[in-house]
Amino acid sequence: QIQVVSADESLKEAISSFFFDIGAEGVSETVDRGISQGICACFPRNKEAEVQTKINDYLNGLKEGFPSAVSLAWNYSAVPQDNWAEKYKEFYRAQKLTERFFLRPKWDSETTIPTDMFPIILDPGQAFGTGLHPSTKLSMKLIEDAAGLYPNLQKLKLLDVGTGTGILAIAAEHLGYGNVTAIDNDQDAVRVAMENMVVNGATRIEVTGKPISEFNQSFDLIVSNILLETHLMLAKDYRRLLIPGGLLILAGLLGGQTKQIESVLLPLGFVPQQKYLYQEWTATSYCLRSKS
């Protein structure tokens, strides 16, 4: 468990996003008697040294750019393994994701899901994609928007790259996408995603650990919410697997990274269509030009 104490309200959102970016499994603001005590995040114990190094570097960078960050301090405490599950539940709570989707943890039987929203029930386990990160919500909004472009979603083939908990694949099935394939190279994520499919009654989703390089079939839509470096490595696979006129949704990118990925995508025939921004995160849809 890591806690960062900051007197600057404007830095709290940035620090929260940073925690998620380096693998936090939950982030919340701690409050005592109405006074904020800072931002608290939980990380897997096997990442302890790596996380502490990244936090040191990040906070030192903040202090150089923001005078108000000079007072930033942080502390680390280990949570006993037998208390981890209960501690994590304090961070992972029911909430509205978009105008159409509402997230509820699997263990929460009390929260009422609005009748006009699609429910997504998740137990994230050790998989990435809890639904709390801005890039997940932005991806979901673009999937919603894309659903309005097609007259017959049942016939469409959608590929979810780096599915994590399976949250985006589940959202796609709720919206009516008929053939959804969710892939991840982390076997723990594949297991967690499969379990979440069962909980959500998602029967039209195939979850697999098969590498994207081994796929040969074509897809109408590809959704990929991963890091920039992986996007760059997979750009040609996106081009190879997407039908001409198909849609590619990319997320997991900071605003300044858009130019980097587009320097690779545009020469491959991808044309930017729609973009959403939240805090420093961005998600963009691209149409693959039809062959002339």
Average pLDDT score, the chain: 84
Q: What is the pLDDT of residues 150-163, one digit of tens each?
A: 889 999 999 999 99
Whether residues 104 and 82 share a domain: the answer is: no
Q: What is the pLDDT of residue 30?
A: 63
Q: Among residues 89, 112, 146, which one ends one of the domains? A: 89
* CATH number of the CATH domain containing 27: 3.30.70
What would the mean pLDDT of 111-118 be, rounded to a whole number? 93
Q: Among residues 43, 73, 89, which one ends one of the domains? A: 89
Q: What is the pLDDT of residue 196?
A: 94
Whether residues 148 and 110 share a domain: the answer is: yes
* CATH number of the CATH domain containing 144: 3.40.50.150
Using pLDDT thresholds of 50, 70 and 90, give the confidence band for residue 123: confident
- Look at phi and psi of residue 33 and say left if phi exceeds 0, alpha if psi is from -120 to 50, else beta: left
Whether residues 7 and 151 share a domain: the answer is: no
Whether residues 127 and 163 share a domain: the answer is: yes
User: Do 39 and 19 meet the contact criterion of CB atoms below 8 Å apart?
Assistant: yes
Q: Decide if pLDDT at 292 tops 60.
A: no
Instruction: Report d(CA 271, CA 169) in Å as an integer.
Output: 24
Whether residues 37 and 120 share a domain: the answer is: no
Instruction: Report d(CA 277, CA 255) in Å as an integer.
Output: 8
Q: Among residues 89, 110, 144, which one ends one of the domains? A: 89
Q: What is the pLDDT of residues 216-257, one digit of tens each?
A: 999 999 999 988 999 999 999 999 999 999 999 999 888 788
Q: What is the pLDDT of residues 54-87, one digit of tens each?
A: 888 887 777 776 666 656 667 776 666 555 556 5
The rounded Cα 189 to chain-centroid distance in angstroms is 13
Whether residues 77 and 168 share a domain: the answer is: no
Using pLDDT thresholds of 50, 70 and 90, give the confidence band for residue 3: low
Whether residues 208 and 263 share a domain: the answer is: yes
Q: What is the pLDDT of residue 33?
A: 52
What would the mean pLDDT of 43-51 be, rounded to a whole number? 76
Number of domain units in the chain: 2
Instruction: Report d(CA 291, CA 287) in Å as an integer.
Output: 12
Whether residues 103 and 241 share a domain: the answer is: yes
Q: Decide if pLDDT at 109 tops 70.
A: yes
Strand order in the sheet with 26-32: 26-32, 35-42, 2-5, 73-76
Q: Decide if pLDDT at 2 tops 80.
A: no
Q: What is the pLDDT of residue 80?
A: 61
**Around Cβ 187, how many Cβ atoms within 10 Å?**
9
Whether residues 249 and 224 share a domain: the answer is: yes
Angle formed at CA 91 by CA 90 and CA 95, multiple of 5 degrees: 105
Indicate the helix (H) or strand (E) that contains 5. strand 2-5
Whether residues 172 and 77 share a domain: the answer is: no
Instruction: Report d(CA 141, CA 101) in Å as an integer.
Output: 9
Whether residues 170 and 270 share a domain: the answer is: yes
SS3 2: strand
Whether residues 239 and 117 share a domain: the answer is: yes
Q: What is the pLDDT of residues 79-105, one digit of tens each?
A: 665 555 565 566 677 889 999 999 998
Domain limits at 126? 95-288
Using pLDDT thresholds of 50, 70 and 90, give the confidence band for residue 126: low
Name which of 31-45, 231-245, 276-290 the model is least confident about. 31-45
- % of the chain exceeding 90 in pLDDT: 50
